[in-house]
Chain A
Amino acid sequence: MQPQELATLLKSSKAPKPLVFYVGPEIFYRQAHIPGAEFLGPDARPEGVEKLHNRAATLPRSSFIVIYCGCCPWSHCPNIHPAYDELKKMGFSKVRVLFLETSFGTNWADKGFPVQKGS
Chain B
Amino acid sequence: MRKAVLFVLVVLAALVTYRVANRRFNLPIQPAQPSAPDLSLTDLNGDPIHTSSYRGKILLVNFWAAWCVPCRQEIPEFISLQEKYPGKVQIIGISLDDNESELRKFYKTQRINYPIVQGNLKIADAYGGILGLPTTYIIDAQGRIRGHQVGSTNFSKLDQQIKGLLP
List the interface of chain A (C-beta within 8 A of B). 25-28, 30-32, 42, 44, 70-73, 76, 78, 102-106, 109-110
Tell me the residues in window 57-112 of chain B with beta carbons closer than 8 Å to chain A beta carbons: 65, 67-71, 96, 98
| In contact, A105 and B24 (Cβ under 8 angstroms) | yes
| In contact, B132 and A105 (Cβ under 8 angstroms) | yes
**Segment of B11-19, B28-36, B121-129 in the binding face:** B121-129
| In contact, B134 and A32 (Cβ under 8 angstroms) | no
- Residues of chain B lying within 8 A (CB to CB) of residue A73: 70, 132, 151-152
Tally of chain B residues near chain A (CB < 8 A) = 25
- Residues of chain B lying within 8 A (CB to CB) of residue A76: 68-70
- A110 touches which one: B24, B96, B119, B130 (CB < 8 A)? B24
Using CB atoms, name the residue of chain B closest to A104: B131
* Known contacts A44-B67, A78-B69, A110-B25, A102 near B98 by CB under 8 Å: no
Write the nearest CB–CB distance from B60 to chain A, whole angstroms: 18
The yes or no answer to B141 lying at the interface (CB within 8 A) is no
Total residue contacts A-B, CB cutoff 8 A: 78
Write the nearest CB–CB distance from A29 to chain B, whole angstroms: 10
Using CB atoms, name the residue of chain A closest to B123: A27
- Residues of chain A lying within 8 A (CB to CB) of residue B150: 102-103, 105-106
Q: List 8 A-B contacts (CB under 8 A).
A: A28-B96, A31-B124, A73-B151, A76-B68, A103-B132, A105-B129, A105-B130, A109-B24
